[in-house]
Amino acid sequence: MLELAVALENPKYAHNVGGVLRACSVYGASKLRWSGHRVVPDNMRRLPREERMKAYRNVDFAPCGLPWMIDTIVDNRLDWSIVAVELVPTAEQLPDFEHPTINTCYVFGPEDGSISRGLRTMCDRFVMIPTAACMNLSAAVNVTLYDRYCKRRHLGLEPIRPTSEYV
């Protein structure tokens, strides 16, 4: 089965990691990793209550170091595409972006910076969301995963469930 994962570089706020955890859960990303020491297991307890609820247990989430963050997600590098979501001049624009058809890990930078050069060298592709200014980290993750879902659904790669299943 195709795997989907999210990696955050040195996130600053636990509430953003909580929002990303929820995005991973609802869009079917099975792994979430983040680097740095600003959101650590101790203040994980301060994630918004709903992010600690049972419904989010379908996501394997953990803090870890750099550059091992990617290694804790990717088993065989050849089976994975690593996509940096960042405002860089050479990035493809999300509306035109064709999401990889193999296992994919989307990488995001911190609230007060951007993806480091070291981590960028591990990325295969770069995509930006054409917004007037930088988005909130968790919003950027949600938009990226929703875009992937919509495009895959359009290609018949995601099941179309009746609305009644969602409410």
Is the CB of 140 or the CB of 145 nearer to ligand SAM?
A: 140
Distance in angstroms (rounded) separating the CA atoms of residues 106 and 85: 7
Between vectors from CA 61 to CA 73 and to CA 54, what angle results, nearest 5°? Answer: 140
Is the CB of 52 or the CB of 125 nearer to ligand SAM?
A: 125
- In DSSP terms, which residues pair with 5 in a beta bridge? 31, 105
- In DSSP terms, which residues pair with 83 in a beta bridge? 106, 125
Question: Which amino acid belongs to residue 135?
Answer: M
Min CB(164)–ligand SAM separation in Å: 34
Min CB(61)–ligand SAM separation in Å: 18
Residues that bind ligand SAM (CB under 6 A): 85-87, 108-109, 111-115, 128-129, 131, 134-137, 140
With beta carbons less than 8 A apart as the criterion, state whether 84 and 127 touch. yes
Is the CB of 6 or the CB of 74 nearer to ligand SAM?
A: 6
* Total Cβ atoms within 10 A of residue 11: 23
Min CB(42)–ligand SAM separation in Å: 23
Is the CB of 43 or the CB of 131 nearer to ligand SAM?
A: 131
**What is the three-class DSSP state of 96?**
helix
Comparing every residue's Cβ against ligand SAM, the nearest one is 109
Min CB(87)–ligand SAM separation in Å: 5
